[in-house]
Amino acid sequence: MAPSGSSNAFTPYFLFLLLTATTGPLLFGYHLAELNAPSEVITCAKDSITLASVKARLGWGTQASPLGALPQCIPMNATQFGLVSSFFTLGGLIGALAAGPLTAKNGRVRGMLYAALCATVGPVFEALAPNVGTMAAGRLIAGLGAGGAMVVVPIYIFDIAPPGRKGFFGSFTQVMVNVGILITQVLGYFLSRGQLWRIILAVGGVIALAQTAGLLLGGQESPKYLADQGKPSRAKVVLQKIRGANVDIAEEVAAWRQVDSTLLDEEETLLAHPDGAPNSSDQTDTSTPRVPTAGTARKTLSVFQVLRDPETRPAILAITMVMMCQQFTGINSIVMYGVSLLSSLLESNSALLNIFVSLLNVIVTISAAPLVEKLGRKTCLLMSISGMGTMSILLAVGIMRSIPALSAVAVVVFVSSFGFGLGPIPFILPSEFVASNAVGAVQSWALAVNWISTFIVAQFFPIINERMGKGQVYFIFAAMALVFGLFIAWYVPESKDKTDPDEVWGRKKNRREVD
């Protein structure tokens, strides 16, 4: 048999599960950026984001509405547009807080399914919105789905990914976020005219519908979750299916704290002897301490219990600060407002720049994924933050002094730095910093903080940028990068090559989580 975690473990079924699951993060990225390119068309500031000469040649411009009574655009000022944008993050916050307990109770697949259903319904309201309120409601519902997906999917990937490659496949959460951003930027460039912006908003619902079908037809519950629920034999069958028939999974099964190979033998013995009295030949040495019986499910900690637990509190602080850093260093100022931010410098080329930046972000995140395992989580984070902080200063100077070349280069390197570390790594840390019975609750807190931070940036960036003068807000992002970088260097531990949270935090081994 092939060893556990070998390249042979990457079966087509595993890749199907990975793709189906990460469609949730793809939709998060899609909705996060869907208003970027068409923002000025949606708010009636322009008929199109393309050059006037191109519009005239192709006959573009103000057109009769193909959707009957729906208005071609919805008049909004900067505050109203910021509110519509930030309603997505409000929904994400609610979804993130609800997803942890829901997925702990009902499983990873059902959690992803609920999120996909919300992601299907929300775009219907968005695409058919006649006014600000309806569009905001659609963004809120879509946010519920995105918030839930960003909690559940990283946990699910960590559960099903082969040992030694969890960091690599964990990076696919951010890869697919970037793919979603890229899709919507491309659609935005071609459809940001007349009333075609409504198609951009509708496509998100079509993608979510495809994910829903994939989950219903081929979704498979995480074997780790099944083991935690006291179903080790079922978990072993599922894991073998994911890894492939010829892959040895004994070592991976043994790594499940409450479900090692002896537990599987014990369960089989209990099934063979329903009265609970095994034959003398089946009995093992009782002088050796053993973990609880196979039918015992691990007690899942709630979102409030993890706050009181002295072993999870340090992890919550570390993870939430990293999540805040991800947003307060300014990435969503580019993702959500980059086209309008740079339009005065680059005219219609600002939309093309955003497409290029989104494509580069996908390439960088995929290319850098192996470095997460080679260099370590903390090293990649600090390098990423340093690059973003430096580029924030250069971007501020480029915008303030109207230097298009400097601004363009700064944006490209800024986003590349994000994709290298601060993009993917925060979603990996919860599964490595805490035990599996606490990871859902901790992930909820982490994503709640992330969504609150995203809401603050989405709501107030346009206002602050307008009042301070274009570009100067990036000095604030640079200062944030310095503060968070110092905190991470001092407090956040390295989890590379660590087998469990006790080793990550330098604690003595204990067996409390299996009680």
CA dihedral 393, 402, 187, 96 (to 10 degrees): 30
Task: Spell out the domains of the chain, with CATH numbers in brackets.
Answer: 7-50+73-224+301-511 (1.20.1250.20)
161 or 206: which leads in pLDDT:
206
Give pLDDT tens digits for 406-430.
Answer: 888 898 899 889 988 998 899 889 9
Q: Which residue has the tokens 């890894």?
A: 243
Would you state the pLDDT for residue 485?
96
Give CA 256 to chain center in angstroms.
25
Would you state the pLDDT for residue 447?
86
Q: Which range has the worst mean pLDDT, 45-59, 304-318, 459-473?
A: 45-59
Would you state the pLDDT for residue 341?
64
Q: pLDDT at residue 219 above 60?
A: yes
pTM of the model: 0.77
Q: Which residue has the tokens 């300014």?
A: 330
Q: pLDDT at residue 27 above 80?
A: yes
Q: How far apart are CA 194 and CA 63, in angstroms?
A: 6
Would you state the pLDDT for residue 253?
81
Give pLDDT tens digits for 280-312.
Answer: 444 444 443 333 344 445 577 888 889 999 989
Give CA 469 to chain center in angstroms.
32
State the maximum Cα–Cα separation within the chain, in Å, rounded to a whole number.
Answer: 90
Give pLDDT tens digits for 111-139.
Answer: 999 999 999 999 999 999 999 999 999 99
Q: How far is CA 91 from CA 28, 31, 54, 99, 115, in A?
A: 11, 12, 38, 12, 11
In terms of average pLDDT, the best of 73-87, 101-115, 455-469 is: 101-115
In terms of average pLDDT, the best of 15-24, 95-104, 190-199, 276-285 is: 15-24
